[in-house]
Structure 1
Amino acid sequence: MESRKLLPFTPHPVIFNLCLLLPCTYFTLSHSAKLGNDTDKLALLAFKDQITHDPFATLSNWNNSVHFCRWNGVICGGRHERVVVLDLQSRNLTGTISPHIGNLTFVRNVNLRNNYFHGKIPKEMGCLYWLQVIGLTLNLLQGEIPINLTQCSEVRILNLVANSLEGRIPLELGKLEKLMGLGLAINKLTGPIPKSLANLTFLRDFSLSENRLRGDIPKELGQMRQLHMFQISSNGLLTGLIPAQIFNLSLVEYSLVSENQLVGEIPPDIGFTLPNVRMLLLGKNQFYGSIPSSISNASKLERLSIPFGQLTDSIPQDLGKLKNLVELNLRRNKLGFGEGNDLGFLSPLVNCTKLEVLAFFNNILSGVLPNHITDFSSNLIYLLMEANRISGSIPNDIQKLENLISIGM
C-alpha cells in the first residue's frame, strides 16, 4: 500500500465509519482487502488520539515512518495484513477506548490490561466478530457491561476484573457458548447471578468476587462441568444454600465463597465430590454443623479456611493426610466440647510439612497443649490458638519454629 502523509487525524466519512454508522457489517476477504488496510490504520490512529498520557512512549512509532503492522503492540496476519492482535498491556496508558476500535474487523485479541483506561467500554466492540480474547482487567472503566459484547460469538476469554463497572450482569452473556474464562470480579456489579450463565458449558474460570451481587446461587450453574475456578466471595448479599450441584463439580480446584450470607452444612462427602480442590474458602458465612472427616480425602488441598462461622463438634483428626496443606484457618467458630481433650487433631498435623498458617483461636477447644507442636513444619509463620480452654505449659523447644512471625496463646 502506497504510503501518504496524513493530516491531523480526521476519520474518512465513508470507509472509516462503516461500523459506527451502520449495523455491524461482515465483509468478505476480497472486500476487506480493498478497504481493510486503510480501515485498520485509521482505527489505530483514532485509538491513539484518545490516549492522553503515554509515559513509556509506547505509541511513539504509530506514524507514517513505520508500517502499522510493525507498530508497538500491533500484530497483523501474514496474508492480508489485517490487525489480529492489539496488545498494550502494562504500558501505563491513560485515556478512553475509542469506539473506532470496532473497525479492527479481524482482530482476535484485544489486551489492554493494567493501564488507566477510563470511561465506558465501547459498544462498538460488538462488531468484532472474530474476537476471542477481551482483556480489560486492572483499569478504571465505568458504566455497564455492553450487551453488544454478546455479539462476539467467538470470545473465549472475557476479563473485566478490577474496574468500576456497574449495573447488572447481562443475561445475554449466556449466549457466549464458547466462553472459557469469565472474569468480572472487583467491580460494583449488582443484582442476581443470572441463571443463563449455566449455558457456558465450556467455562473453566468463573470469577464474580468483590461485587455487590445478591440473591441465591442458581443451581443451574452446576451444569458447568468443566469449571476449575468458582469464585463468588466478598459480595456480602449472596444468601441461601450452596446448591449441591456446585459441590459436585469434580474438576474444581478453587472454590471461594467466603464473606457472604450463605447458610447450611458442609456436605459430608465433600472430600470425594471435590477430589481436585486446592483452595476451599468458606469463611464469614453462616455455615453450621461439623467439619466433614472426608475432607482428608481431598489430597491436593492447600488452603482450608472456614473462619467466622457456626461450626461445632470436633476437628477431624486425620487432616495430617493433607500433605500439601499450607493454611488451616478455623478461627472464630464453636469447635470443641469444652471439656476433655479436643486437641487430638494437632498431632497428625506434624505430617503437613508445608504448613505456614495454623489458626484455631476463639473456639471452645480444651485439653493439654501437646509438646509435639514443636515438631510442626519449619515453614510455620502463624500459630494462633488463643481464646480456647487449653491448659498445660508452653514447650521449651518452641524456639525450633524459627520462622514464626506470630504466636497467639
Structure 2
Amino acid sequence: MKTYKKISLIFAFLLMGMTTLSAATQSEIDGLVALYNSTGGDSWTTNTNWNNGNDPCTSNWYGVMCDSSSHIEVLDLRENNLVGSIPAEIGNLEKMTDLVLFGNNLTGSIPIEIRYLTGLDNLDLKINQLTGSIPSEIGELTLLLGLFLDGNQLSGSIPSEIGDMTSLKELDLYTNELNGSIPSEIGDLGNLEKLNLYDNQLTGSIPSAIANLDGLTKLYLFDNQLTGSIPAEIGTMVDLVDLNLSNNQLTGSIPSEIKDLTDLVKLDLSNNQLTGSIPAEIGDIVDLLDLNLSNNQLTGSIPTEIETLVTLANLDFSNNQLSGSIPTEIGDVANLVKLNLSNNYLGGEVPTEITNLEIPDDIGLELQDNCSLHSDDTGTQGFIVKKSAVANYDPEFLATQGNCPPDPDSNPVMAPIIMYLLN
C-alpha cells in the first residue's frame, strides 16, 4: 500500500512538472501579443496559430520556439511583412536567445526594454526602417554573439557601452545614418571577427584601440568621413583577410607595418587623400588578390617588390602622382586580370614583360593619361588599340597630351596610349 502511495505521489509530481512545462508565462505571451498587435499581425505573410488564445509553445505559433522549460527561446519572423514598431513589451521575453526580425517594415526606435533580453546571443533587426539612436542599454546584452542593425535609418553616435558586449563575434551597423566618431571602447570587443561600419557618416580618426581586435578577419570602414592617418598599430591585426578603408578623407602615408598583414586577400585604400610612396613592404602580403590604392595623392615609383604578389588579380594605382617607369617586374604578376595605372606621371617605355600578362581582351590595360609612356614597336607587338574601345573616346581626346607634373623641365609630353592585349 505504501509503495502504491509513493508511486502515486511520484506520478502526481510528474504531472505537475508536465503541466509546468506545457505553457509559456503570461508575461511572455503578453510580449508576443503586443508585437502582433503593434506590427499588423493580421496582415503578416504567415501568422499560423498566433493570437488564438492558445499557448505559443504547445500550439506551435509560427516563428516561435520554446525551450524545455516552456520559455520562449527563439522568435524568428524574418521577411514576414511586419509593419509598425517594436513594442516595449518585447522586454518580457527575458529567456530568449534569438530575436530575428530582419527584412520587414519595422519603424520607430529600438526600445530600451531590449536590455532585459540578457540571454540573447543573436539580435537581427537588419533591413528595416528603424530610426532614432542605438540605445546605450544595448550594452547590457553581454552574451550577444551577433548584432545586426544594418540597412536601417539609425542616427546618432555609436554608444560607448557597445564595448561591454565582449562576447560579440560580428557587429554590423552599416548602411545607416550614424555619425560621430568610432568609440575607442570598440577595442574591448576581443572576440570580434567581423566589424562592418561602412556607409554611414562617421567622422574623426580610426582609434588605435581598434588594433586590440587581433582576431578580426574583416574590417569595413569605407564610405564614411573618417580623417587622420591609418594607425600603424593596424599591423598587429594579423588575422585580417579583408581591409577596406576606401572613400574617406584619410591622410598621411600608408604605414609600412601593413606588411605584417600577411593573410590579407583584399586591400582597398582608394579614394582618400593618402600621400607618400607605396611602401615596398607591400610585397610581403603575398596572398593578395585585390589591391586598390587609386584616387589618392601617392608619389614616387611603383615598387619592384610588387613582383612577389603572384596571386594578384586586380591592381589599381590610377589617379595618383606616381612617377618613373613601369617596373619590368610587373610581368611576373601572372594572374593579373585587371591593371589600371592611368592618370599618373609615369614615363618611359612600356616594358615588354607586360606581354606575359594574360589579361582578357574585353578588360584590357588602362595606361592612358600618363606623362610620356611609349611603346617599343618590336616589344609590344601583342598590343593594339581596339576599335571597340577607342569608339568610346572622342578622337580629340586620344590626341591630347598626357598627364605630366607641372614642371617646365620635365620630359616632352607624348599622346596617351590605350593598349589592349590580344589573347
TM-score (norm 1): 0.81
**Structure 1: which amino acid aligns with 2:163?**
G
Deviation at 1:275, TM superposition (A): 0.8
Which of 358, 364, 373 is residue 390 of structure 1 equivalent to? 373
Q: Compute the RMSD of aligned alpha carbons.
A: 3.1
Deviation at 1:306, TM superposition (A): 0.9
**Structure 1: which amino acid aligns with 2:237?**
L
The number of residues matched between the two structures is: 370
| 8 Å CA contact 2:235, 2:257 repeated in 1 | no
Equivalent residue for 2:317?
330
Equivalent residue for 2:272?
285
Matches of residues 65-80 of structure 1 in structure 2 within 5 Å?
Answer: 68-69=56-57, 70-77=60-67, 79-80=68-69
Question: Aligned in 2, Cα 1:378/1:359: closer, same or farther, shift over 3 Å?
Answer: closer
Question: Aligned in 2, Cα 1:342/1:396: closer, same or farther, shift over 3 Å?
Answer: closer
Deviation at 1:398, TM superposition (A): 5.1
Equivalent residue for 1:20?
none
Equivalent residue for 1:229?
218
1:179-238 CA-partner distances (Å, limit 9, x unpaired): 2221111111111111122221111112211211111222122222212122211112x2
**Structure 2: which amino acid aligns with 1:102?**
G
Question: Aligned in 2, Cα 1:307/1:336: closer, same or farther, shift over 3 Å?
Answer: same
| 8 Å CA contact 2:326, 2:350 repeated in 1 | no
| 8 Å CA contact 1:343, 1:365 repeated in 2 | no
Deviates more, 1:68-77 or 1:58-67: 58-67
2:59 pairs with 1:59: no
Equivalent residue for 1:367?
348
Equivalent residue for 2:249?
261
Structure 2 residues without counterparts, runs of 5 or longer: 1-16, 394-416, 419-423
Q: CA separation in 1, counterparts of 2:171 and 2:364? A: 34
Which of 171, 174, 177 is residue 185 of structure 1 equivalent to? 174
Equivalent residue for 2:101?
112
Question: Aligned in 2, Cα 1:116/1:248: closer, same or farther, shift over 3 Å?
Answer: same
Equivalent residue for 2:410?
none
Q: CA separation in 2, counterparts of 1:56 and 1:370? A: 64
Moved over 6 A (4+): 32-35, 53-56, 404-408
Deviation at 1:92, TM superposition (A): 4.3
Which of 37, 58, 66 is residue 49 of structure 1 equivalent to? 37
| 8 Å CA contact 1:316, 1:345 repeated in 2 | no
**Percent same amino acid among aligned pairs?**
32
2:68 pairs with 1:86: no
Q: CA separation in 1, counterparts of 2:347 and 2:250? A: 29
Deviates more, 1:359-368 or 1:376-385: 376-385
Deviation at 1:364, TM superposition (A): 1.2
2:156 pairs with 1:167: yes
Deviation at 1:298, TM superposition (A): 1.4
Deviates more, 1:328-337 or 1:42-51: 42-51
Q: CA separation in 1, counterparts of 2:220 and 2:115? A: 27
Equivalent residue for 1:342?
326
| 8 Å CA contact 1:343, 1:367 repeated in 2 | no
Q: CA separation in 2, counterparts of 1:44 and 1:275? A: 49
TM-score (norm 2): 0.78
Matches of residues 113-152 of structure 1 in structure 2 within 5 Å?
Answer: 113-152=102-141
Specify the structure having the higher radius of gyration (Cα). Answer: 2
